Chains A and B, each alone.
Chain A
Amino acid sequence: MNKLTKKVVVVGGGIAGWLTAGRLAAKHKSNTEQGLTVVLVESPNIPAIGVGEGTWPTMRSTLSALGISETDFIRECDASFKQGAKFAKWVDGSEDDFYYHPLVLPQGFSQGDLAAHWLAKQGQAGTKSFSEDVCFQESVCENGLAPKTIRTPEFAAVANYAYHLDSVKFSVFLQKHCTEKLGVTHIIDNVTGVNSAPNGDISSVSTENNADITGDLFVDCTGFSSLLLGQHYQVPFKSCSDVLFIDTALAVQVPYDDADSPIASHTVSTGQEAGWIWDIGLQHRRGVGYVYSSKYSSEEQAREVLAKYVGDKFSSLTVRKIPIVSGHREKMWQNNCVAVGLSAGFLEPLEASALVMVELSAQMISEQLPQSRDIMDIAAKRFNETFLYRWEKIIDFLKLHYILSKRTDNAFWTDNRNPESIPESLKEAMALWQYRAPADHDFTSNNEVFPAASYQYVLYGMGFKSDYSQNTYALDNIDFAQHQFAQNKKLTDKAVSTLPKNRELINKIIEFGFNRI
């Protein structure tokens, strides 16, 4: 049986559903006669989860691939700019304890390793934090500045950037674009059953009010319920709660003091007694949430921590409690069914990995869409290898933040450093980095999610020291290093003196918009 892939059925709306449907429809010309048929069926009753307000810079190429205007996106999704994350109180919990994981690579990163030189100048007058000494973006964020000007074309950057967005608005925005521009068929109905073909494939899904919806490929975007992959195919869930302890989130939406309040152009993640608080600035409100481990904190304690962080406004806000089950399915693609989004897995939002995994999945499915059933198993195998690797690497990278902490105020932090909770792959990498900085050769797969630079920012931001005493010749290219440090200083001064405030640029985008060129 060699059935051609002519019709894809996406089950579930939300950002995962619409991004996948959109990428498929855009790539395979669903708005033309010969194009792929893409149907998205979503329940009228299931509310959007509404988490995942931080993105990666990849979102710029995703939006661009969908043919979306950045101006429209920013105007309609309450979006603002994100230039990385500021981690506060992660090392020792003191008031001045913070470091940055910016989105711009360390200065001169492709030409040489500044980390060794930065480590060597510890204790010298004028030495600042790693992120400030090697990257101009920290100063841009600390000054509340935008990553570009109104003259910069759509999606182009002065400083690499991602977005903060209102996920509910983004979902509606994507739906409109996908149905009106890209030719995605939208069916609002409850899926009541999954029907199998003799070979075990899904032949169709039954619905309450419509006929059975047949398809050649089914995309499971049903969120935590994982209706197709989890419930129908019974693909086991691989928990990683032994590595990452967070299991609950308390989220609130905090209004600004007034319409002109500054908007932070980075995510702030502040360590707390049993987890950490995210703080994300949108145009009209902040999204704030405490993610914690219920093993180390009662809900009542957690509410107090969140209340203290938010301040006076807290009493008037609605607190939403969201369970977090950390982990992923053992496979993402089974037969003719592939899961994207929460149905595939979820990890605490420490590095905004949820949306980027959706984007990467949607991109790979659309770019490698098997033309016919007989090659689909090959595509499935590769997809599973790719994404299992990515899940593992994200888990390693998230855990890295915890094992470098020196906090002792709660067993949450000390238990996180228990070697038994640390994946072998991370232990191996840490062993190597005792003597040198993370480098590109540590990350040789095409499927890497976090590059060596990200590891450097976290390691040296959190006070880790690689010991170069046995190969001091690593410091021979001192001229190069001094030039790069000076160059960074120059770029910092220039950026700080020329970039507008984040709020100011957002206002200009609303009034004038970006040009495409």
Chain B
Amino acid sequence: MASLVAVDNKKHLNTKVDLNKVEHHGANLPLIPVVLAEFIHLAVQYPIVLTKNGDTGQFVFSAMLGFEENENLFWQQAQWQGLYVPLQIRRQPFFVETSDAKHHNELAVCLNTDSPAISEEIGQALFDEKGDESSYFKTVKANLTQLLLGEKENKVLIATLTSMALIKPMSLDITFMNQSATKLAGLYTIDEVKLAALNNEQVLSLHQSGLLSAIHTMMISLGQIHTLIDLKNKSLS
């Protein structure tokens, strides 16, 4: 279990974060939750799919990075090889305490003190000697804000997809170069047939709310499954 501590400029005056180790948080993740604003960056390399949160059963958007448990095919030679690193990774090892945010409309930024990226020696400082926030920490906060807002946008898109019945289960049977096969379950995507069957009014509302481009980005991003298969085959050869 991660131990989360609220960040303050006295306790963490000397705390530093090693950016090289931040990306390590994603080393074993085949699926990483993403927000709508990232879709366009993600689609260049990763398939964007829907999965269900194990705890709530509700849909979440995820970038797909591997085919099996603990596999991130973009993590090679102890480094992130992808062009774009999802916000969920970049904001590590920081979290937002949302229960407080609800009441005070203010973000309480917490630090995961178990993170290997944290030390007092190597990396970016959170505060300067005077206790003012460093530009690095400001970026972290901006990332966290973007994630929080993104969660809201995600909810709107998912509610729209659900109400228009535009989500369908994805079935993937893949045989890799070494003839090993995998059958992926629990992934969902856009139902193109139902999307094509929407009436003018529905399409217009999707377009005006800006969701139509996100839907298309998701559909296009599925082509990146081949990128993943390529990476997998390379790792097998």
Chain A interface (Cβ < 8 Å from any Cβ of B): 149-152, 508, 511-517
Q: Which residues of B contact A514 (CB under 8 A)?
A: 57
Q: Please judge, given known A-B contacts A515-B59, A516-B162, A517-B188, whether A151 and B54 are in contact too, CB under 8 Å.
A: yes
Closest to A505 in B: B57
Does B131 sit at the interface, judged by CB under 8 A? no
A151–B165 CB distance below 8 A: no
Seed contacts A151-B186, A512-B56, A513-B57; 10 additional CB < 8 Å A-B pairs: A150-B56, A151-B52, A151-B54, A508-B55, A508-B57, A511-B56, A514-B57, A515-B58, A516-B162, A517-B169
B residues within 8 A CB of A508? 55-57
B207 contacts A by Cβ under 8 Å: no
Chain A nearest CB from B139 CB (Å) reads 33
Chain A-chain B contacts (Cβ-Cβ < 8 Å), number: 32
The A-contacting residues of B in range 81-131, CB under 8 angstroms, are none
Interface: B152 (CB within 8 A): no
Complex CA distance for A149 and B59, rounded to whole angstroms: 14
Q: In the bound complex, what is the Cα–Cα distance between A491 and B188 (angstroms)?
A: 26
The answer to whether the Cβ of B216 comes within 8 Å of any Cβ in the partner chain is no
In the assembled complex, which residues on chain B have CB atoms less than 8 Å from the CB atom of A511? 56
In the complex, whether B168 has a CB less than 8 A from a CB of chain A is yes
What are the 3 tightest A-B residue pairs by CB atom distance, in nearest-first order?
A150-B57, A151-B52, A512-B56
Is B167 among interface residues, defined by CB-CB distance under 8 A? yes
Tell me the nearest residue of chain A to B167, going by C-beta.
A517
- Nearest neighbor of A152 in chain B, beta-carbon distance: B57
A151 touches B57 (CB 8 A): yes
**Residue in B closest to A150 when the chains form the complex, CB atoms:** B57
Mark each residue of chain B from 47 to 83: 1 if its CB lies under 8 Å from any CB of chain A, else 0: 0000011111111000000000000000000000000
The answer for the CA separation of A152 and B169 in the assembled complex, in Å, is 12
Interface CB pairs A-B, < 8 A, 27 = A149-B57, A150-B56, A150-B57, A151-B53, A151-B54, A151-B57, A151-B186, A152-B57, A508-B55, A508-B56, A508-B57, A511-B56, A512-B56, A512-B57, A512-B58, A513-B57, A514-B57, A515-B52, A515-B57, A515-B58, A515-B59, A515-B167, A516-B162, A516-B165, A517-B167, A517-B169, A517-B188
B contacts, CB < 8 Å to A: 52-59, 162, 165, 167-169, 186, 188
Residues of B within 8 A of A150 (CB): 55-57
Q: Which residue of A lies closest to B191 (CB)?
A: A517
State the CA gap A200–B169 with chains docked (Å): 55
- A222 vs B81: C-alpha distance in the bound complex, in angstroms? 72
Q: In whole angstroms, what is the CA distance A133 to B59 when docked? A: 37
Q: Give bound CA distance, A152 to B185, whole Å.
A: 12
**Given A151-B52, A151-B186: A517 in contact with B168 (beta carbons within 8 A):** yes
Give the chain A neighbours of B56 by CB distance below 8 A. Answer: 150, 508, 511-512
List chain B residues, Cβ under 8 A from A151: 52-54, 57, 186
In the complex, what residues of B have CB within 8 A of residue A149's CB? 54, 57
Residue of B whose beta carbon sits closest to that of A509: B57
A517 to B189, CA, bound (A): 11
* Shortest distance from the beta carbon of B59 to any chain A beta carbon, whole Å: 7
Query: What are the residues of chain A within 8 A of B162 when measuring CB–CB?
Result: 515-516
A501 to chain B, nearest CB (A): 14
When C-beta atoms are compared, the residue in chain A nearest to B56 turns out to be A512
In the bound complex, residues from chain A placing their C-beta under 8 Å from that of B57 are 149-152, 508, 512-515
How far is it, in angstroms, between the C-alpha of A150 and the C-alpha of B56 when the chains are bound?
6
Contacts of B52 in A (CB 8 A): 151, 515
- Which residues of A lie under 8 Å from residue B186 when comparing CB positions? 151
Question: What is the CA–CA distance of A514 and B58 in the complex, to the nearest angstrom?
Answer: 8
**Chain A residue with Cβ nearest B168:** A517
Q: Determine the chain A residues whose CB is within 8 A of the CB of B188 once the complex forms.
A: 517
Q: How far is the CB of A228 from chain B (nearest CB, A)?
A: 41
Alpha-carbon distance A516/B162, docked complex (angstroms): 8
B55 neighbours in A (Cβ, 8 Å): 150, 508
Nearest chain A residue, comparing its CB with the CB of B158: A515
What residue of chain A has the Cβ atom nearest to residue B54's Cβ?
A151
Name the distance in Å between B54's Cβ and chain A's nearest Cβ: 7
* Assembly CA distance A151 to B165 (angstroms): 17
Distance in angstroms from A326 CB to nearest chain B CB is 43
| Smallest beta-carbon distance B31→chain A, Å | 14
The complex places the Cα of A167 from the Cα of B59 at a distance, in Å, of 32
Complex Cα distance A508/B56, Å?
7
Q: Which residues of A contact B167 (CB under 8 A)?
A: 515, 517
Residues of B within 8 A of A513 (CB): 57
CA distance A517 to B169 in the complex (A): 7
A81 vs chain B, min Cβ distance (A): 15
Minimum CB–CB distance from A277 to chain B (whole Å) comes to: 35
In the bound complex, residues from chain B placing their C-beta under 8 Å from that of A515 are: 52, 57-59, 162, 167
**Shortest beta-carbon distance from B52 to chain A in Å:** 4
Measured CA separation A127–B55 after assembly (Å) = 36
Q: Which B residues touch A512, using CB under 8 A?
A: 56-58
A513 to B58, CA, bound (A): 8
Chain A's closest residue to B51 (CB) is: A151
Chain A nearest CB: distance from B224 CB in Å?
23
Closest chain A residue to B55 by CB distance?
Answer: A150
